[in-house]
Amino acid sequence: MSESNLAGQFFDAAIGLLQRVRDEESAGVAAAGTAVADTVAAGGRLFAFGAGHSSLAAQDVVYRAGGFAVMNLLTVPGVVGVDVMPATLGSALERVDGLAGAVLDSSPARAGDLLVIISLSGRNALPVEMAMNARALGLKVIGVTSVAYATETKSRHLTGTYLKDHCDIVLDSKIAVGDAELTADGIEAPFAPASTVVTSALMQAMMAAAAGELAERGIEPPLLRSGNVDGGTEWNGRVMTEYGDRIFYRH
């Protein structure tokens, strides 16, 4: 088996998953786009949260070319990436009861805002409590998760519930339990995870739907341009000034 064959198999697997979520999650993506548009139109603020590698898809919609200026990263210290030492601490923090509530209480999030929570398994205390507490505060919650984990794994939250049980809208990434698309002779563990590709695509599809919804209502979506194209920096300065009261990643 050649390396190029395995590379091609991964592309095929990722493309297959993208086609599945495009076809099977279209109603959910449209509903999520409408929820984002409703929040922006009403003057609310947008937040995205993910722990560990799920944070990558959250970061992908924050402060970026072609993205909404008003989307903010809701950060939990120690779980945003693999830069925490040791990296295993981040995994441990996801299982700590009460952490989500403390983070939300000290964040700018308030009733009328929207929070997207990304968790592949949706089984740990942190995303479950994040969703529960956010809804209790009056936020709309969109969950991006693999629903398969709820039937094939055990919840680590004291209620026995999963992220999907505490969301207004759920987007199912269809990722198989274990998050590895390939196996091969001579390789002991499954490998080649596709969750980042698929989850990021779901996030961008949701935001694209939201931009279209706002445009249909005659509202200019608060989009950022690339700072590497002529006029981009000036454009972004104007957008950030106009929406400054809804942006929390700058002083």
- Kindly report the three-state secondary structure assignment for every residue of the chain: CCHHHHHHHHHHHHHHHHHHHHHHCHHHHHHHHHHHHHHHHCCCCEEEEECCCHHHHHHCCCCCCCCECCEEECCCCCCCCCCCCCCHHHHHHCCCCCHHHHHHHCCCCCCCCEEEEECCCCCCHHHHHHHHHHHHCCCEEEEEECCCHHHHCCCCCCCCCCHHHHCCEEEECCCCCCCCCEEECCEEEEECCCHHHHHHHHHHHHHHHHHHHHHHCCCCCCECCCCCCCCHHHHHHHHHHHCHHHCCCCC
Residue 112 and residue 138 in contact, taking contact as beta carbons nearer than 8 Å: yes
Question: Rounded to an integer, what distance in angstroms lies between the CA atom of residue 182 and that of residue 178?
Answer: 11
Residue appearing with tokens 């939250």: 157
Query: Does the pLDDT at position 58 exceed 60?
Result: yes
Mean pLDDT, the chain, rounded, equals: 95
Assess contact for 120 and 175: CB atoms under 8 A: yes
Question: What is the reported pLDDT for 6?
Answer: 96
Global pTM reads 0.95
Given pLDDT bands bounded at 50, 70 and 90, which one contains residue 3?
Answer: low
Band of pLDDT at residue 2, cut at 50, 70 and 90: low
For 84-123, the pLDDT digits (tens) are 889 899 889 888 889 999 999 999 999 999 999 999 999 9
CA–CA gap between residue 70 and residue 36 (Å, rounded): 11
pLDDT tens track for 201-212: 999 999 999 999
Angle, alpha carbons 82-135-46 (nearest 5°): 60
Higher pLDDT, 118 or 80: 118
pLDDT grade for 190, boundaries at 50, 70 and 90? very high
Q: Which of 22-31, 68-77, 82-91, 189-198 has the lowest mean pLDDT?
A: 82-91
The pLDDT, as a whole number, for residue 82 is 84
Q: Which residues contact 10 (CB under 8 A, 6 or more apart)?
A: 181, 182, 192, 194
